[in-house]
A and B are shown apart, each in its own frame.
Chain A
């Protein structure tokens, strides 16, 4: 069934207008009142989120070192409190946009976006702050859970001493008596053996000697600390002791300038790629190529729009996926155009060739796209990190390309036929 001239003009104008409209929506976003319906490409909060490899930042994978026999529930709750504590610690450090999540059976993933010095953040986070008071016999006297509060202070510790920064610990009621008993024990020891070491993650930070029983709800960690050190240590102790020691098993940090460069260069590559594909299509397929190029613009616009609607986490491989998709999207068009050329060579009219071309090509297009969809789904579920982002954009790309090639190209080509473009040369035959 062909289109009349009027219908053809309307269809052509509509496709161009809708594509332009969608492009505007994608670039500027649509907001009615306070609700964002379509987020602009630059709106990272509601739309496309830039992955850490583009925005700069760190992603770290920790593995909990689970010791001893623990039930599944104990491990589970332990890991959950680790997550909460890391989140707390990050917030204390000012990384409010960081995310922490469980990953797998015994791992925790941390993502800190947009840090100028990612390694510094990691270093601070990496301190696991397992606080212990150990006496000279190696007995653990107090641990993190015995500490009610920790504050950094500045003052004299003894009347004659110099002003210095130190950390004051407030003990729980139960801990006060434990501490009293331990100090009583230690005070009886000979010199050199009468100390209680304060350790953080097994490292001695302070080793005061004990000369008398201390029955007080506070005690002090002192050393040659700067104000920053003291504040940091207090914070560390306050945000609690992790149930498990955490080992960094994977880390990836990208500085913001490198990420910015990666994004710019990828977009440039994409733009050149699109132009080259369009030139190729027009040279080979003439008017059909123009149609395919228009469909390609609709495709690119739609993909950007979908990425924004589904709030895709756009990684560097994700961009590669979109660009690859542009090349692949043309495939369905090529299949159809080749079919149309064959029909034309068989001396059919342009109108029936276009119809037959689309009809015959459809089965092949669906079959071939389904395999790419299968591959993308396998990647989505078995892949890790940025690769999942690639699977997402590839999926969106393949599905969108079927739509634009089959529906949009068909509409446009039929319009051209309807407008009276009958020379078979115009279709590249």
Chain B
């Protein structure tokens, strides 16, 4: 087998720039698109899906919109076909109470002479609950990040803990960037996806750091940069193969799953890829940079 090999740590500035560009693109996407495409979990509102029995075309969707506007007094925010079905209608509106929901459903049922007795699914979230969910998201990500920092600092040295957490924040930022740029609907399962990535992507970083630690014990005189570089390459196949197996399963969920579970699988896929990149190209590089900074400080 031919060995592909190139310098990683020596060229670390390039990889830093690549990451910064992606994150910056995310920030621009965020500003241009006016924020994230927050689902009702965060903003409050009602989502209803109705089985229409036959294919939905643009004209039908327009009719739905007109009916909904008549009933509710304002246009629904979204009227579309569900992603994985030809005939499933999805309507998103402001927060509706039971009665309004029923009126809306009955109006649509009548307009299209539907045979179904009830919507396929209904989701209603009030603004207060949305706020709760948002607060919990921030809290749980912070708690998890601090716990990781503590754990890694105990197992390794503090600098490596910082490097690992920076790499981890990178993964989260890349996920957020993807959401801002492509305006993927963000629901509360996004929190679970984010935390899973935090736990998972740090695995890969730890494997690399663990190898670095082992290699340093063998020969203390070797420059750190060289040891770190060698460790990255020694663990490269593992990093890639593990990512491939995880991606294989979660991508199947994305391809074959229903809409709600696909919305969960997508951020995982993005995060896993970001995690692979950061554990190979960023974490050891940051560790090296941090050690360099500290040495400079000491020298002064």
Stretch with Cβ within 8 A of B (4 or more), from A80-88, A226-234, A252-260:
A252-260
A257 to B98, CA, bound (A): 22
A369, B203: Cβ atoms closer than 8 Å? yes
Q: Check: A41 CB closer than 8 A to any chain B CB.
A: no
Q: Check: B207 CB closer than 8 A to any chain A CB.
A: yes
A122 to B246, CA, bound (A): 40
A253, B195: Cβ atoms closer than 8 Å? no
A64 to chain B, nearest CB (A): 13
Residues on the A chain within 8 Å of B238, using CB: 334-335, 338
A367-400 vs B: 1/0 string, CB under 8 Å?
1111111111011001111110011001000000
B244, A280: Cβ atoms closer than 8 Å? yes
Identify B257's interface contact among A255, A265, A326, A384, CB under 8 A: A265
Q: Which residue of B lies closest to A117 (CB)?
A: B118
Q: Is the interface of B mostly helix, strand, loop or mixed?
A: helix
Q: Which residue of B lies closest to A378 (CB)?
A: B144
B223-242 vs A: 1/0 string, CB under 8 Å?
00000000000110110011
Stretch with Cβ within 8 A of A (4 or more), from B7-15, B24-32, B59-67, B184-192:
B184-192
A44 to B136, CA, bound (A): 31
A22 to chain B, nearest CB (A): 21
Stretch with Cβ within 8 A of B (4 or more), from A90-98, A135-143, A144-152, A267-275:
A267-275
Total interface residues on A, using CB and 8 Å? 76
Q: Check: A119 CB closer than 8 A to any chain B CB.
A: yes
A372 to B198, CA, bound (A): 8
A328 to B246, CA, bound (A): 6
Asked whether A269 and B257 contact (CB < 8 A) given A327-B250, A368-B203, A379-B192, the answer is yes
Asked whether A269 and B256 contact (CB < 8 A) given A320-B264, A371-B202, the answer is yes
Stretch with Cβ within 8 A of A (4 or more), from B72-80, B120-128, B288-296:
B120-128
Asked whether A250 and B124 contact (CB < 8 A) given A269-B256, A367-B210, the answer is yes
B252, A270: Cβ atoms closer than 8 Å? yes
Asked whether A277 and B139 contact (CB < 8 A) given A63-B128, A250-B125, the answer is no
A266, B261: Cβ atoms closer than 8 Å? yes
Q: From residue 92 to 129 of chain B, which have CB atoms closer than 8 A to chain A?
A: 97-99, 101-102, 105, 117-126, 128-129
A378, B147: Cβ atoms closer than 8 Å? yes
**Residue in A274, A364, A369 with the greatest tally of chain B CB atoms within 10 Å:** A364
Identify A119's interface contact among B101, B125, B144, B257, CB under 8 A: B101
Identify B199's interface contact among A269, A277, A374, CB under 8 A: A374
Q: From residue 195 to 218 of chain B, which have CB atoms closer than 8 A to chain A?
A: 195-196, 198-200, 202-204, 206-207, 210-211, 214
Residues on the B chain within 8 Å of A383, using CB: 136, 140, 191-192
Asked whether A119 and B98 contact (CB < 8 A) given A324-B268, A334-B238, A364-B206, the answer is yes
Q: Check: A248 CB closer than 8 A to any chain B CB.
A: yes
B89 to chain A, nearest CB (A): 13
Q: How many contacting A-B pairs (Cβ < 8 A)? A: 233
A367, B206: Cβ atoms closer than 8 Å? yes
Q: Is the interface of A mostly helix, strand, loop or mixed?
A: helix
Asked whether A317 and B264 contact (CB < 8 A) given A117-B117, A334-B241, the answer is yes
A264 to chain B, nearest CB (A): 9
B249, A53: Cβ atoms closer than 8 Å? no
B151, A258: Cβ atoms closer than 8 Å? no
B143 to chain A, nearest CB (A): 5
Q: Check: B38 CB closer than 8 A to any chain A CB.
A: no
B98, A122: Cβ atoms closer than 8 Å? yes
Q: Which residue of B lies closest to A365 (CB)?
A: B207
A327, B245: Cβ atoms closer than 8 Å? yes
Q: Check: B247 CB closer than 8 A to any chain A CB.
A: yes
Q: Which residue of A lies closest to B255 (CB)?
A: A269
A309 to chain B, nearest CB (A): 23
Asked whether A379 and B119 contact (CB < 8 A) given A277-B249, A331-B203, the answer is no
Residues on the B chain within 8 Å of A268, using CB: 256
A261, B203: Cβ atoms closer than 8 Å? no
Residues on the B chain within 8 Å of A262, using CB: 257-258, 260-261
Identify B253's interface contact among A258, A280, A320, A368, CB under 8 A: A320
Can you report 21 A-B residue pairs in the complex whose CB atoms are below 8 A from each other?
Answer: A116-B118, A119-B98, A119-B102, A119-B122, A258-B120, A276-B248, A277-B245, A280-B241, A284-B241, A316-B260, A317-B192, A320-B250, A323-B249, A331-B203, A335-B238, A371-B152, A371-B199, A375-B198, A378-B143, A378-B195, A384-B136
List residues of A whose CB falls within 8 A of some B CB. Answer: 53, 61, 63, 116-120, 122-123, 126, 247-255, 257-258, 261-262, 265-266, 268-270, 272-274, 276-277, 280-281, 284, 316-317, 319-320, 323-324, 326-328, 330-331, 334-335, 338, 342, 360, 363-364, 367-376, 378-379, 382-387, 390-391, 394
A-B complex: 5 closest residue pairs judged by Cβ atoms: A375-B199, A273-B249, A327-B246, A368-B203, A327-B249
Q: A257-B120, A262-B258 are in contact. List 12 more A-B contacts (CB 8 A).
A: A117-B117, A120-B118, A250-B129, A262-B261, A277-B248, A316-B261, A327-B247, A335-B207, A374-B151, A375-B198, A379-B195, A386-B189
